[in-house]
Amino acid sequence: MGKCIGFGSLIKALGLSLGLAMVSAGAFGQAPLGDKSSWTGAEKKMDSALVELTRAAAEGKLQAQRMRELPGNVKEFAKQNVAADQTIFIVIRGDVSPHLTAFIKAHGGTDISEFAPFRTITARVPVAAINDIASRADVQTIGPREQATTNRYELSPKELKAYRERLESLKNLSPGAATNVGSVTWQGVTAHKANLAHAAGKTGTGVRVCVLSDGVNTLAARQATGDLPATVTVLPGQAGSGDEGTAMLEIVYDMAPGASLYFATGFGGSEASMATNIVALGAAPYSCNIIVDDVTYFREGAFQDGPIAQAVNTVTTGGALYFSSAANSGNLTHNRSGTYEGDFVASATPVPPAVQAFYGATPVQSHAFGGLNYTTLTAATTTVSLKWSDALGASGNDYDLVVTNAGGTTVLGSSGRNAQTGTQDPVEISQLGGAGFPVGSRLYVVKSTGAATRAIRLDTNRGRLPIGTGTAGSTFGHNAAANTVSVAAVNVATAGGGAFTGGAANPVETYSSDGPRKMFYQPNGTAITPGNFLFGTSGGTTLNKVDMAAADCGSTSTPGFITFCGTSAAAPTAAAIAALIKGNNPALTRAQVLAAMNTTALDIEAPGFDRDSGVGIVMVPAFAATYTIGGTVSGLGAGKSVGLLNNGGDGVTVNANGGFTFATALASGAAYNVTVGTQPTGQTCSVTNGSGTVGAANITNVAVACVNNPPSTYTIGGTVSGLGAGKSVGLLNNGGDGVTVNANGGFTFATALASGAAYNVTVGTQPTGQTCSVTNGSGTVGAANITNVAVACIVTAITGPTSTGTGTATATLTGGGAACGFVTGGSGFVAQPAAPPAGVSFPHGFFRFTATSCPAANGGVTITVTYPSAIPPGAQYYKYGKEAGNTIDHYYTIPATVSGNQVTFTITDGQLGDNDLVANGTIIDPGAIGVPAAAGGPAVQPVPTLSQYALMALALGMFLMAARRRQGKRRR
């Protein structure tokens, strides 16, 4: 039948005997479990199996001596899932955080794994801790280990004997060349014409193919026999358990022996664990081009992408191809359907007492299957599931699944009891071990009377439903996702030892699952057709599945898989064909590889695309013989590289002298043209024998010769700023190569210099009345033009007529730093600001200036004023403004040197003579040469005034007199 780690193993793991699984209402003396109104808030977050388990634990019935008191189904669930230390593996969905993880640890949790992108944590916890964990607000749901199965079809002994005899008879009938890898070669090599590709040298070299399945137990043994290569990369800690993965790797290796192989298990106890491994395989360092799996989780969403399908979306968006087995649950075309899909229709027939007793007084409705309110199994199964068209993690409509005996008098199993209160998945699963649910068992789809009508999916998971009840649409979950290539199976024996021919001769296996797949939600839970969630009203969207078909039931050397049947075998066969196509042309995109596969397909089943085989059986294209293009590189400098192109693409980078070969081989008759795409630094490479037409041999005589370039030269330049209108500055580089700049802006010296040469820019001729300085003016030329030399010019001389008409005067500035200069708009010869002091005259008026960029740290600024006539003896330099201790504008003198018709004085920013009294880099200085009246003409008679101290005494006296008068008035 299959397995969970194989269906057969799943049956053993469940271990539920029919007699022990009979469920009665009122277990543990509480309200019937179907009456979910009695459940606590924490219980409504739990899978119903955990509700029963935790209630049993609370009553002490999990102790060995009291286990016999438990109902059979609870006892068997505990036996299979609860360890001797009373712990159980659980799957928690909610907000993954350090706080939640710490809480789980504090309550005895071990083996904790976090899958934050999928809002999942798995852990082994004491049964007694489940209620406490479920009570947290950040926990959405808790369930037991999520069951999965591979999609191997296990033959009966009679079927196995017949298949082996038939394969043996066909061994020597395979025409054409074949690559026999190891002790056994997969018959699909010949059936899909991979042998012809191998003969043409096409083996999938350069392609990374990654497999997910149960495990690789005998990997080393298969490598020892040569049935697998010496290197198979297994993700750390993800080898899994079982050997179906080994058999799948064998198929890929036989079909595409040049491909690199990788493996990770798909069995980690949760959908999130498999999803995480898929994402890891698609990312660095593994970077798989092609990923293939044969796993189905029973809980996967049917109408919305769950975690695994979302992981498929991630890797395919990154460019990978993803193949998956369609599953082995049968198809409608061959009357082997075990699936029912349709809209819920309430039956007028009440549920039987055995079912109603399960719900107590709670009213429920059952679905009408034609004239009955149930359907029956026509083939036994261990697992039955029910899903409906609510969004994952947001189901608020309570549907249940109940399985009874053929008379409807005894409930055989009903995991279909979970509460749906708005935060759960729309999934119910019922399982029964041993022989499983027998033929004739009734399946009831039940909903609460308040639940909305939804599309439903009843899946017997390799069981069968009556003809007329079963529908198409068997494949689901990530196996049928939009970005998954869903693969059906065709028995390789129908190829007769040669290649498939298509048509009626090569039908799909009757157990191969069919499409299509209806989807009602986007991956994020957004409705595709809001408010319309039914088949009958064309809600949602329909995916045309399956996609293609490939061979199964061939041979491998892996124990237990000597004959390997099922879509588990077909999926790696198709994936390997993709590897051959990708290896032949690595530049092909995901869409192009699929298009090439579809082009080769042989139509089978219904004409054109059909729900059973998709496009049909995919075949390996007839690859034309191809030849490589290459040659040699010489003269390439050490540590340098040259980029070469063939026909404008297919680039190769050569890092040393010697041979090179382009990755893409060309067919005979194709043109080639080798050119240099990227020259090495400081060299020029040229190509000879670079073009022509491919013949019947590899091209090896392309010659690429590289020589050193002459030394490169680079210009020296920069910008000039602050140059006055109508002025010019002469610049020199290294004492020569002069250039005269007549305006602010860029400049460049005429002589360029070689890389490594020194440069030194200086001012040769200063502009009249200005001083220019150079920054970034010296250095060594590198591998680019020098453009950052900065020449800044400042005003250091002002000439103009005196305000008194005595002639022309000139003021010059030195010191204060290279950038210190006059502000032209605020400097010049002006009239005296106020009446002069007694006995003093200002024969030439005042010189007022503002100097900027003159910080005190650069020292004082020296000003020299040259007047039109000699300065008389006894003259002093007067300032008019503020000084420390007296911020009222007034006249005062500062030290100055008089010589002939010149006066020289020095002012430091923020100190005596700086009118703003602030050390801010700006000096403001209105001043003039003051001459005694006797020496310089008629003196101005000043008005007598009192000193400031006399004025203060006078004011104090007046205040005291006023106070005395006021006191006298009060006495009267």
In sequence order, what DSSP letters do the residues of 847-915 get, joined into one string? Answer: EEEEEES--GGG--EEEEEE-SSPPPTT-EEEEEEEETTEEEEEEEEE--EEETTEEEEEE-TTSTT-T
Note the pLDDT of residue 960. Answer: 53
Q: Name the token pair of 913.
A: 């003579």
Compute the residue count for the chain. 972
CA dist 797 and 768 (Å) reads 8
The helix/strand/coil state of 152 is: coil
The helix/strand/coil state of 64 is: helix
525: Cβ–Cβ under 8 A, 6 or more apart, which residues? 304, 391, 392, 393, 394
Residue 849, strand partner residues: 925
* CA-to-CA separations, 374 to 35, 355, 643, in angstroms, rounded: 21, 12, 71
Note the pLDDT of residue 945. Answer: 37
Q: Name the token pair of 377.
A: 């199994």
CA dist 54 and 77 (Å) reads 12
Burial zone of 362 (CB within 10 Å; 0-12 exposed, 13-18 middle, 19+ buried): middle
In sequence order, what DSSP letters do the residues of 467-533 get, joined into one string? Answer: TTT--S----GGGG-TTSEEEEEEEGGGGTTS----GGGSPBPTTS----EEE-B-TTS-BSSTT--
Pairing of strands 321-325, 485-491: parallel
Nearest residue to 212 via CA among 254, 240, 251: 240
CA dist 649 and 515 (Å) reads 41
- Give exposure, 652-675, as e/b (b: 16+ Cβ within 10 Å): bebeeeeebebebbbeeeeebebe
Burial zone of 157 (CB within 10 Å; 0-12 exposed, 13-18 middle, 19+ buried): exposed
Answer whether the bond into residue 125 is a cis peptide, omega within 30°.
no
Note the pLDDT of residue 167. Answer: 57
The secondary element (H helix, E strand) that includes residue 404 is: strand 399-404
Nearest residue to 913 via CA among 889, 893, 897: 893
The secondary element (H helix, E strand) that includes residue 56 is: helix 48-58
CA dist 447 and 46 (Å) reads 19
Q: Name the token pair of 179.
A: 């690559």
CA dist 17 and 408 (Å) reads 18
Q: Name the token pair of 743.
A: 């305006």
Note the pLDDT of residue 27. Answer: 38
Answer whether the bond into residue 516 is a cis peptide, omega within 30°.
yes
Backbone angles phi, psi at 276, to 5 degrees: -65, -40
Tell me if 252 sits within 8 A of 211, measured CB to CB: yes
Q: In this structure, how many other beta carbons lie within 10 angstroms of the beta carbon of residue 92?
A: 29
Answer whether the bond into residue 572 is a cis peptide, omega within 30°.
no
The secondary element (H helix, E strand) that includes residue 948 is: helix 948-971
Residue 549, strand partner residues: 488, 617
CA dist 495 and 493 (Å) reads 5
Tell me if 525 sits within 8 A of 185, measured CB to CB: no
Task: Give the DSSP letter of residue 220.
Answer: H
CA distance between the termini of the chain: 131
pTM, rounded to two decimals: 0.67
Note the pLDDT of residue 11. Answer: 38
Q: In this structure, how many other beta carbons lie within 10 angstroms of the beta carbon of residue 343?
A: 17
Q: Name the token pair of 27.
A: 């277990």
Grouped pLDDT means (10 residues each) for the chain, 972 residues:
41 34 38 70 92 90 83 82 94 96 97 96 96 96 95 78 61 42 89 94 95 97 96 97 97 97 97 97 97 97 98 97 97 97 96 89 93 96 96 94 94 74 93 90 94 97 96 98 98 96 96 98 97 97 98 96 97 98 91 94 96 97 86 96 95 96 88 96 95 93 94 91 91 96 95 93 93 93 93 91 95 91 87 94 94 93 96 94 91 95 95 92 93 57 38 47 49 42
The helix/strand/coil state of 403 is: strand
Q: Is 900 left (phi over 0), alpha (psi -120 to 50) or beta?
A: left
Side-chain half-sphere CA neighbours of 230 within 13 A: 0
Q: In this structure, how many other beta carbons lie within 10 angstroms of the beta carbon of residue 378?
A: 20
CA dist 70 and 21 (Å) reads 11
In sequence order, what DSSP letters do the residues of 236-281 get, joined into one string? Answer: TT--BSSSHHHHHHHHHHHH-TTSEEEEEES-SSSHHHHHHHHHHH
Residue 610, strand partner residues: 614
Residue 424, strand partner residues: 395
